[in-house]
Amino acid sequence: MLEYITVADVDTALGSNWAARDKKERAVLLANVWLTNKSLPECDPIPQEWKQAGAEIAKEAASGKIYGTTETGVLSKSVRADTVSSSKTFSSNHRITSAGESLALALLKPWLGTGGIFMLKRI
C-alpha cells in the first residue's frame, strides 16, 4: 500500500473536525488502501487532486461509508400490506456510492483510464 495522504493532510484539506481523533488514523489507512486500489500511475509529487480525493475518502471512511458492511446474495425485497405491494430488485453487487466517494472519483478521473490505459494529466 502506498501512502498518498496523512492525517495532517486531511486536517489541512477539511479542517481538524472531519472525524473524531480516535478514528482518524484508521480512516486515513482506509483512504490510502482505497487510493492504492485505483492503480494510479506513479507520480511525484502527489497531485493535490489526489490528496483532496484521499481526504474525501478518509472522511467517508471515518463515518463507516467506505469498506463497510455490504449485503450480497439478496436479489429481491418485497413488502405487502393488504392489496398494496412494493418490490425492488438489485443485482448481488449493488452498492451505494457516497457523495464523498463520487467526488473523489471525479477528482481522480483524469488519471484513471479504461483497460489499463492511463490518461496522464500535466501537473
Element (H, E) at 43: none
Number of H helices, E strands in the chain: 4, 2
Cα angle for residues 15, 34, 76 (degrees, 5° grid): 110
Domain limits, the chain: 7-69+99-111
pLDDT of amino acid 117: 45
pLDDT of amino acid 66: 87
Q: Which residues pair with 80 in a beta bridge?
A: 85
Q: What is the pLDDT along the chain (123 residues), one digit of tens a residue?
A: 889 999 999 999 999 999 999 999 999 999 999 999 998 998 899 999 999 999 999 999 999 888 766 555 556 677 788 888 887 766 656 566 777 888 888 888 888 875 444 445 554
Task: Output the CA torsion 25→31→73→98 (10° steps).
Answer: 110
pLDDT of amino acid 116: 43
